[in-house]
Homo-oligomer: A and B are copies of this chain.
Amino acid sequence: MRPLLPLLLAAPLLLAQAPPPSLANTSADQIIAAAPASAWISIDPDDLMVMDTAVGQMIIQLAPEFAPAHVAAIKALVKAGRFDDGRIVRVQDNYVVQWVARPLAGKEPLSQPPDVREQRVRPDPLPAEYERSSKGLKFTKSPFKDSYAKAGWVNGWQAARDRKAGTLWLAHCYGTVGVGRDMPPDTGDGAELYTVIGHGPRHLDRNIANVGRVLAGIEPHAALPRGTEALGFYKDESQRVKITRVRLASQIPGFAKWQMMDTASASFAQVVQARANRTGFFIRQAGAADLCTLKVPVREAA
């Protein structure tokens, strides 16, 4: 067994066979570690969805200010226990992991025909909360170009905006959580959610309700076997991954408190610059970075 050395000592040895460096940039990490308390915003435990599955626990931060009706519907489903005994039904490579709540009547296997499931699961349609008015929100512009829109951050979220239209929306990046919908744009009900496990599919922006992001625990879910059916659906019930229990952090006594970095803070601006100009391993700084690479730091509160 190789001895476990402290990371900074071990890294050059572990790197002897020459891997690329981690996404975690030391300088950005140093800025994050040194950021003052004022640079951090507490996340409301009522906005944290804690999902226990057969492969691990995924902690999701919901974004009520961007999709209020969807987030309210999801919280109601959580409180009613509807995600307990739900299933992960789809894993598509370089795209999404998707899961569904237990059907309303309770005991039907999810492998029954979806048109039957549909009648039982769907409550009233929700509004198409794919973008919102930018009025009253502080948008911090990214200093770098974006292929899709004007990119930046709002209230701790990766976002984009259309200044002329006065709208902004959450961007689809790795770990973004959205609400599945059928072809008509108002048919998502919050009972079927997905998270992105590939290159940020920004073409979904403004086409679907983004309701949050994974703060922790995406790894074992991103490593689930890819489904072999069309769109990465699992073929049968035995392949589906059980969701044992889903609660809001506010329902779990003693659950960890989480914080996100204030994206309007000087610390965050420094993080952005550090990620655009990585040092150490990097012989040439990119001098820029795309929105999905410029993730908002989050942490468990001390």
List the interface of chain A (C-beta within 8 A of B): 1-2, 7, 10-23, 89-96, 98, 100, 111-115, 117-118, 121, 128, 130, 144-148, 173-175, 178-183, 185, 187-189, 191-192, 194, 197-208, 218-220, 222-226, 229-233, 236, 275-276, 278, 280-284, 286, 288-293
CB–CB A115/B218 < 8 A: no
28 contacts between A and B (CB under 8 A): A7-B230, A12-B182, A12-B183, A15-B231, A16-B115, A17-B117, A17-B118, A17-B180, A17-B191, A17-B192, A18-B179, A18-B182, A18-B189, A19-B98, A20-B180, A20-B208, A23-B95, A23-B198, A91-B223, A148-B286, A148-B290, A199-B199, A201-B293, A202-B289, A203-B293, A207-B284, A220-B226, A223-B224
User: A231 with B14: in contact, given A223-B224, A226-B220, A293-B199 (CB under 8 Å)?
Assistant: yes
Instruction: Give the docked Cα–Cα distance between A197 and B114 (Å).
Output: 31
Given A115-B16, A187-B18, is A289 in contact with B92 using a C-beta cutoff of 8 Å? no
Measured between beta carbons, the chain B residues less than 8 angstroms from A178 are 20
Distance, CA A226 to CA B118, complexed state (A): 35
